[in-house]
Amino acid sequence: MLDKLETAIGSSKADYTDIRYEENRRVTISYENRELRRLSTTTSRGGHVRCYANGGKAIHSFSRMEDMERGLSQCAADSQIVGSHRKAKLSLAPTETLRGQLLLSPEKDPRKWPLDEKHELLKHYRDLLLYIPKVVVVAGAYSEWHSHRWFVSSEGTAIEYDLLITNIGFQITARDGNVVEKTVYSVGGRDDYSNLLDRDEEFLERGRIAAELTTADQLPAGNFPVILDSDEASVFIHEAFGHLSEADGLQDNPAFLAKLQIGAELGSGILNVTDDGTILTAPGGHLVDDEGVRTRRTELIKKGVLAGRMHSRETAAEFSEELSGNMRAVGPKFTPIVRMSNIFIERGTSTFEEMVSSIDHGYYLVGAKGGQTSGDAFTFGAQYGYEIKAGKLGRLLRDLNMSGELFETLQNISMIGDDLRFAERGGCGKGGGGPMQLNAKSGKGAPHIKINKVTLGGAK
Amino acid sequence: MIEKLLNASLELFDDGEIYYKEEVNTSVRYGNWDLRNISSNRVSGVMMRVKKQGKLGIASATTLDDPKTLLEAARDSAKHGNEIPYSFSQATGFPQVQSYSQEATNYPTAKMIEMCERAKEEVREVLPDISLNITMSKEEEHIRIATSGGTRAEQLITNVDFTISAPIKGAGISVYRFKSEVAPFEYPAEVVRGFIRRYRWTENAVTPATKRMPVIWDPVALYMFALALCAGISGEELVKKTSPLMDKHEKQILSDKITLVDDPHSPRVGARGFDDEGVPTEKRALVERGVLRSFLLDLRTGAKLGARSSGNGFKRALFGGGTSAMPTTWPANLWIQPGDSSLDEMIAGLDEGIFLTGGMGFHSSNYTQGHIAVRAIGFAIAKGRITGRLENTMLSGNIYEDFKHVRAVSKEVELGSLGYYPYVLVDSMQVVGK
């Protein structure tokens, strides 16, 4: 395959050309209660070409190998057109030339596990949840995704590498009269099967909470101090800050870039944030990105000060900053864009008890429920929460959404826990100027954190 | 190729369905006034569903080139599959819809660049200090569905899109306007001018008071209403018995000013003659003057509820979807009946309120129950005028309570997500600001 791609690149008329070819295999087993909704092993393949010429860029995706040459020549011609229109010329930061294989070798390789065992494990967790009173719908899935990739560039890089991730996740719906509430929980997030085993207690707890939520109170709207659990805090750092550390989002937004110069003071001195794709035990772990740059650890915030950001070769050149190996695509239909690998808030020194006792009237938000960000504005939900009154945890609450402004909120982080955890479910949506790419290989982590003030949008 | 695959599948299985889609598209993208790239695709996807002794098997791939692997995957899947209570489509006649333009297919990249350049110059004259982004694209889709029951459905779809946007200085969000048509269009002056008008509204940042107030919903914000409502009338929620509308058929659920039609047959973007299961689409009222009239069903949920599919099985999802996804119930192409008001009249008539153009965090709301809690994107209104962009503002409520009290619906109708909508003025919703 590498030879075939190298030969094709030889005919390109662009200044720089690369081709990525993928063969992907996805195993899905999904249930809704006792109904098997899907059991399938699907394959997909296809390629993606990128050309730079005269400071202009063009990209092309193809499904059939026979279409590669036609796509390549169209892409090269398009890059010339862009180059002829562009005023600020694009270039690529230099990177080492890689050749050979960079393949994963998990100890308990899920690809080698019998399908029947995967199926039985999923049913086992489902049955635990179905017996919880008030739980009416248990929708869950086993998913396993393996992507085998070949990447060749006109600079001489020619590599074969892969990505692998497994998950078991459930959405648990409970009902009491007209009140319907949901929680979700997911395990796995690695290339190793063992992380999916022996997780009964965690699923059960999330199921019981779904049932309790049907009689929980709704949250009043307003501004309050909050503690975020690890899951919520990791979504916060991913959504609110992480996306702004992806340099491609700043390329076309100079006003924002001015706010985010390296050395800018963003938070208090206790805050350290890092992106590290070399942690292979978290969902975003990988060895090399989709433009042939090795993954590495990048300090983003050091003692509250902006210390670095995530780059493509193009943005690293444009910003005159270090390469970071964060350029990734979710499939052959897509061009790589700058993505977080495993972003996390580094461990602090406070205990959870210290945080709770420091709050007179506030809330403890638990369990991520999706988030969204646009520039420095963010919103995300919590699966449930607890009231904190006079330094003590109180009643359970449902239907919580919080929002705020990144810069103000970073300054308002006043305590960081000593209990760093990585979420086991990846998942991040980003378009980056093109179609939405939903990346399962995106990890996030954090300890508990206390924020002095956020806006909570409750139902009351 | 499709016929061959279908015939081969019938040697192994009792019933079969092939869904095959090819896409060809080109787009030009300007970032911060400069042409950033030209992107093109020539991609395909195939999904096969089979039935063997009542059990469902699924397989998908990128092309039709390797039928053997597809058939084997379908066979393995069917070994484990659940029994399904439905057969694949047997429909043979479909409504003819206008969804394709040869001119769109042949539309040259140079023309797209020319149009973007012209828009750029028009904006530069009046807003030279912003960071302007423009994307223009042409897309062509070719969908084919064949079943062992005799269905042979085929549709060509084209789209030409023009989107102009710019981030608001000092804020994270962007202002954008767009136009999307089946066929190429002349220079979209109204879109460019609409963008300039709205960008000028963003100069001041306003955080309204925390209280209930009137909300004007922009057509592009109404996807939140549409998604929440369509979850409530979806076959999935009915089968699970978690819909808040379980016992509301023929009852008043919204204001009598709201008539919501699923209208896939009118000649506009989103027109479809059949759904992704090869079932003919239908034009029908979902909500008529506030009264719930009908539900969205696909083959599976229809069979489970003892009804037929309403032609609403689509390979969509809130995130994801695509050829290899299983169909679930979605509206084909929504349409909210316009009224007699206008956006300008609505704004002029409000002493205090907000004009909502978007919401962040919708998907983390409990929206299947009608609940919406989002960071509000849009503009503040005081004494009949826009006073600035919203900052630090959240909006929360429940469509089944708040949309019972609709004050006005506009004459203007614009394309939004999942369909075409007018501007809708809701009497009062909870705004969380200062």
Residue pLDDT, tens place only, B19-60: 999 999 999 999 999 999 999 999 999 999 999 999 999 999
* Phi, psi (rounded to 5 degrees) for B48: -125, 130
Same structural domain, B318 and B345: yes
Same domain? For B148 and B221 the reply is no
Q: What share of chain B is helix, strand, coil (3-state, %, to 5)?
A: 25, 40, 40
By residue range, what is the domain housing residue B316? Answer: 204-434
Q: CA-CA distance, B2 to B176, in Å (whole number)?
A: 41
B194 in the same domain as B114: yes
pLDDT digits (tens, 9 = 90+) for B79-121: 888 888 999 999 999 999 999 999 999 999 999 999 999 999 9
Nearest-angstrom CA–CA distance, A243 and A66: 37
Rounded CA-CA distance B30/B32 in Å is 7
How many structural domains are present in chain B?
2
List the single residue in B with minimal CA-CA distance to A176: B242
Question: Are both A436 and A362 inside the same structural domain?
Answer: yes
> Is residue A296 located within the same domain as residue A188?
no
- Which of B198, B231, B266 is the endpoint of a domain? B198
Residues A192 and A67 in one domain: yes
Same domain (yes/no): B122, B176: yes
* Closest Cα in chain A, distance from residue B296 (Å): 19
Q: B166, B198, B230: which is the final residue of a domain?
A: B198
Q: What is the pLDDT of residue A280?
A: 92
Give the chain B residue nearest A31 (alpha carbons).
B82
Residue found under tokens 């998907």 = B363
Chain A hits for B369, Cβ within 8 Å: 180
Span B252-284, pLDDT tens digits = 999 999 999 999 999 999 999 999 999 999 999
The CATH number that applies at residue A14 is 3.30.2290.10
Same domain, A204 and A337: no
Pick the closest to residue A406 from A371, A362, A355 (CA basis). Answer: A371
Asked if B316 and B282 sit in the same domain, the reply is: yes
Query: Whole-model pTM?
Result: 0.92
Nearest CA in chain A to B60: A42
Asked if B363 lies within 8 A of A370 by C-beta distance, the reply is: yes
Is there a single domain that holds both residue A144 and residue A252? no
User: Which residues of chain B make contact with A457, given a CB cutoff of 8 A?
Assistant: 373-375, 394-396, 432
Question: Could you tell me if B214 and B157 lie in one domain?
Answer: no
Number of folded domains that form chain A: 2
Which of the residues in chain A have pLDDT under 70? 458-460
In this prediction, residue A376 carries a pLDDT of 77
Residues B207, B378: contact at Cβ < 8 Å? no
Q: Give pLDDT, residue A458.
A: 57
Q: Which residue of B33, B40, B65 to mutate against A (max A Cβ within 10 Å)?
A: B40
Residue A413 pairs with which residues in a beta bridge? A451
Of A190, A215, A240, the last residue of a domain is: A215
CATH of the domain at B110: 3.30.2290.10
Quickly state the pLDDT bin for B390 (edges 50, 70, 90): very high
Instruction: Name the residue among B63, B242, B361 with its Cβ closest to that of A372.
Output: B361
Q: Do B167 and A375 touch (CB under 8 A)?
A: yes
Chain A nearest C-alpha distance from B42 (Å): 5
Q: Are residues A204 and A348 in the same domain?
A: no
Residues A261 and A206 in one domain: no
Asked if residue A120 and residue A232 are part of one domain, the reply reads no
Residue A455 pLDDT: 87
Same domain, A365 and A267: yes
Cβ-defined contact of B169 to A43 (cutoff 8 Å): no
Nearest to B82 among A36, A371, A429 (CB): A36
- Is the pLDDT at B361 greater than 90? The verdict is no
Full residue range of the structural domain in which residue A76 is found: 2-215
Name the helix (H) or strand (E) containing A211. Answer: helix A200-213
Q: Distance of alpha carbon B85 from its chain centroid, rounded?
A: 29
Measure in Å the smallest separation between the Cα of B226 and chain A Cα atoms. 19
Q: Are residues B297 and B385 in the same domain?
A: yes
On whether both A194 and A321 belong to a single domain, the answer is: no
Residues B151 and B218 in one domain: no
CA–CA distance, A342 with A280 (Å, rounded to integer): 9
Domain boundary among A181, A215, A249: A215
Do A325 and A391 share a domain, yes or no? yes
Shared domain for B189 and B211, answered yes or no, is no
Q: Which of B198, B216, B235 is the last residue of a domain?
A: B198
Q: Which of B131, B242, B361 sits opposite A173 (nearest CB)?
A: B242
- Same domain for B229 and B96, yes or no, is no
